[in-house]
Structure 1
Amino acid sequence: MVNNRFYERIDKIEDINILSTLVCKEYKLGKLIDTLVLEFGYEDFNAIITTDTGKYFMKVFRNSRTDKDVEDCIGRTWHAYQNGVKVPKIYLNSENKIVTIFKYLNSRFRVTLMQYINGKNFFELNRKPTDNELEQIVSIASSLSKIDYHPNFIYDTWAITSFCNEFEKKKKYLSNEYFNLINPIYERFKRFDYDKLPKAFVHGDMMSTNLLIDDKGEIWLIDFSVSNYMARINELIVICDDIALIVNDKKESEKRITKIFKQWCNEVNATDFERESFKILFDVANAINVLNTQYEIKELKNDSDETIMHLEAGLFGLTLFN
């Protein structure tokens, strides 16, 4: 049975297959066989639709997003796709639009349909990328930063740019131990000249749940829900505090992170300030993982495997490079 917290993101519907049937009709997908809700992620409602013509990925945008937010969000994926980034194809509806609004009784759903990738993300695989896979992922990050695209800003509670604001709101959820761990990072970051960092188009969430590896070994990037025009090094930091980490293996983690940091610096021709900023930004990213998972656990009662994974990664990440 699907956890209710996923259905709470969208309008009420007694059976998700009702919506899937409407999607099948609009996009001419054939006869619906099944809908599989994907129980990971913190943003939208995602599912795989299986029909007699194949499988498709359905994204239903959460209600907290405005219609403009939705268009902006999926427009980012469309832009990356148009620029040759390894992202799933977006299907156009009968009006040649990338978002379709479906109405059922008193409910309203904003849906995008995308290519289904026959593979699994690294969270589902329960493993970290190999060194070679990490190299591919960093190259994807570098290629994104070279796209001349300045989308409207989307606020992300997990982003480095949101740390000070989120810390003020959520510090009450921290134990004394965690507060004493994170507060010094907060004080340091308040004095950091973030605006001095070079900016670029950034996915912002290149972690285990958003990187798929298909049956041919190729890596795909999905879900541009929190992508922005921001400090380009943020992309690397997210990679370093998630998929590059081997929790409880300090030596290997530092080795992997050092290697991809050098690769990224070479590929984007990093500035001296970017190189010098790595440590504070890496600490902030790990601190955010601890802060937000405490909020998820204590306020939202969400102690899922994904939440615990981010908590453990954040705590471990804060022990590195010291």
Structure 2
Amino acid sequence: MKASEFQKRIGYEGELARVVSKVAVDFSLGKYLNHKVVEAGYEDLNLIVTTHKGKYLVKILANFRNNESCKRYIDIILRALEAGVNHPRLLQSSQGYLYKNNFDGKEIRLVVMDYIEGQTLYDSREKVSLEDARFLVQQAAAINKIDLKVPFVYDSWAVVNFLKEWKENKEVFPEQDKDLIDPVFDKFSKFNVKSLPTAFVHGDIIRTNVMRDEHGELYIFDFSVANNYPRIQELAVLLCNVLYDDKDPNVFMDYYELALDEYRKLSELTKLEIGTLPLYLKAAHAMHIIGAGKEKYKKGNKSEENEYWLSQGRNGLRDMNKLFK
């Protein structure tokens, strides 16, 4: 995808170098040398910016986000850092953490953070070890224990929106997807999601949002769709991608059992949550099919990343159907 396509996310068609050069000055990052677009993701425009002092990550917030949404994003990250979540440090300008400026008649809003030298788990395609899984589950539990009520942000990929999204988009999907998703839809529609305990939830701990640095340490990114959700949504999303290997599904139950055991060391799960997790996990895989399918069949998105999510969803749902009858 060309850089201009990514710029549509922020509604700005001018020179990004001009924007980033000004940001480098206002954040005292050093003399701007170059930048590179981070191609993973669907919403904000992320840039790796290099100056004579080093590298930084600049997140230019999407055009659809209002000022409240931008502030919400920053407040969440600050609370997560306080809770010990391994997320890059946010940097400040004279305006604070949220930076606003006008370029060619368009207001740009962004945040700047430390750049982590490494690769996302999506880019590396590496298999996550049980020790890595243990750490990520501990991080998930720490996130869920944050006492924070946030303004609701609709996420079309979120499991709680499964019934709505499938009803509205089912007609564009091929029969093989309908055969996979319809049985999960029928079971999910009979379950009262509101009966589940809720918590503050990242909701998107997936391979594109987890990075391993050059020293082997894992970082969790992108709280932009965090909400107050059923607590098990965190585990379901983590299990359906980062802890699931479609090339070796036979080991999945080792990760599933570790995730439950490790999570319960920090926060006890109810019997209802434990009993519902398999269904929620299936719905999480279904949401990857729906989210990526909408991108492909409605918007013509045939990118490698989008095809990856379609494949993950389809293979994952088939495997979960075998493991959880």
Give the whole-Å Cα distance in 2 for the aligned partners of 1:248 and 1:83: 35
Give the whole-Å Cα distance in 2 for the aligned partners of 1:71 and 1:186: 35
Structure 2 residue ranges without an equivalent (≥5): none
Give the whole-Å Cα distance in 2 for the aligned partners of 1:125 and 1:190: 37
Give the whole-Å Cα distance in 1 for the aligned partners of 2:74 and 2:156: 19
Could you say what secondary structure the match of 1:303 adopts? coil
Letter in 1 for 2:225: V
Residue 172 of structure 1 deviates from its aligned partner by: 1.7
Could you say what secondary structure the match of 2:241 adopts? coil
Give the whole-Å Cα distance in 1 for the aligned partners of 2:35 and 2:237: 31
Map of 1:188 onto structure 2: 187
Map of 1:231 onto structure 2: 230
Report Cα offsets for 1:255-282 as digits up to 9, x if no partner.
3223223322343111000000011101
User: TM-score with structure 1 length normalisation?
Assistant: 0.95
Map of 2:78 onto structure 1: 78
| 1:230-269 correspondence to structure 2 within 5 Å | 230-269=229-268
Give the whole-Å Cα distance in 1 for the aligned partners of 2:4 and 2:52: 28
Give the whole-Å Cα distance in 1 for the aligned partners of 2:149 and 2:39: 31
Q: How many residues align?
A: 321
Runs (4+) of structure 1 exceeding 6 A deviation are none
Paired residues of 1:210 and 1:223 also in contact (CA < 8 A): yes
Give the whole-Å Cα distance in 2 for the aligned partners of 1:246 and 1:86: 23
Map of 1:14 onto structure 2: 14
Could you say what secondary structure the match of 1:318 adopts? helix
Paired residues of 1:171 and 1:179 also in contact (CA < 8 A): yes
Letter in 2 for 1:289: H
Letter in 2 for 1:190: S
Letter in 1 for 2:42: Y
Deviates more, 1:249-258 or 1:172-181: 249-258
Map of 1:167 onto structure 2: 166
Give the whole-Å Cα distance in 2 for the aligned partners of 1:284 and 1:207: 15
Give the whole-Å Cα distance in 2 for the aligned partners of 1:3 and 1:300: 18
Give the whole-Å Cα distance in 1 for the aligned partners of 2:246 and 2:13: 40
Residue 3 of structure 1 deviates from its aligned partner by: 5.0
Give the whole-Å Cα distance in 1 for the aligned partners of 2:219 and 2:48: 16
Paired residues of 1:189 and 1:280 also in contact (CA < 8 A): yes
Report Cα offsets for 1:56-110 as digits up to 9, x if no partner.
1100111111111111122211111122221111111203x21111111122211
Map of 1:63 onto structure 2: 63
Paired residues of 1:30 and 1:51 also in contact (CA < 8 A): yes
Letter in 2 for 1:219: L
Paired residues of 1:11 and 1:108 also in contact (CA < 8 A): no
Letter in 2 for 1:273: L
Give the whole-Å Cα distance in 2 for the aligned partners of 1:111 and 1:292: 26
Could you say what secondary structure the match of 1:57 adopts? strand
Could you say what secondary structure the match of 2:204 adopts? coil
Could you say what secondary structure the match of 2:90 adopts? coil
Paired residues of 2:177 and 2:314 also in contact (CA < 8 A): no
Residue 239 of structure 1 deviates from its aligned partner by: 0.8
Report Cα offsets for 1:178-220 as digits up to 9, x if no partner.
1122122112212211111111111110011111111121111
Letter in 2 for 1:29: L
Paired residues of 1:2 and 1:37 also in contact (CA < 8 A): no
Residue 168 of structure 1 deviates from its aligned partner by: 1.8
User: TM-score with structure 2 length normalisation?
Assistant: 0.95
Report Cα offsets for 1:208-238 as digits up to 9, x if no partner.
1111111121111111000111111111111
Report Cα offsets for 1:19-70 as digits up to 9, x if no partner.
1011012111121001111001112110111101111110011111111111
Map of 1:137 onto structure 2: 136
Give the whole-Å Cα distance in 2 for the aligned partners of 1:250 and 1:24: 45
Give the whole-Å Cα distance in 2 for the aligned partners of 1:80 and 1:250: 32
Residue 13 of structure 1 deviates from its aligned partner by: 3.1
* Aligned-CA RMSD value: 1.4
Paired residues of 2:84 and 2:142 also in contact (CA < 8 A): no
Residue 2 of structure 1 deviates from its aligned partner by: 3.0
Could you say what secondary structure the match of 2:97 adopts? coil
Paired residues of 1:248 and 1:316 also in contact (CA < 8 A): no
Could you say what secondary structure the match of 1:293 adopts? helix
Map of 1:278 onto structure 2: 277
| 1:26-105 correspondence to structure 2 within 5 Å | 26-95=26-95, 97-105=96-104
Structure 1 residue ranges without an equivalent (≥5): none
Letter in 1 for 2:17: N
Map of 1:118 onto structure 2: 117
Map of 2:221 onto structure 1: 222
Fraction of identical pairs, as percent: 28
**2:287 aligned with 1:288, yes or no?**
yes
Residue 250 of structure 1 deviates from its aligned partner by: 2.5
Give the whole-Å Cα distance in 2 for the aligned partners of 1:130 and 1:4: 38
Residue 156 of structure 1 deviates from its aligned partner by: 0.6
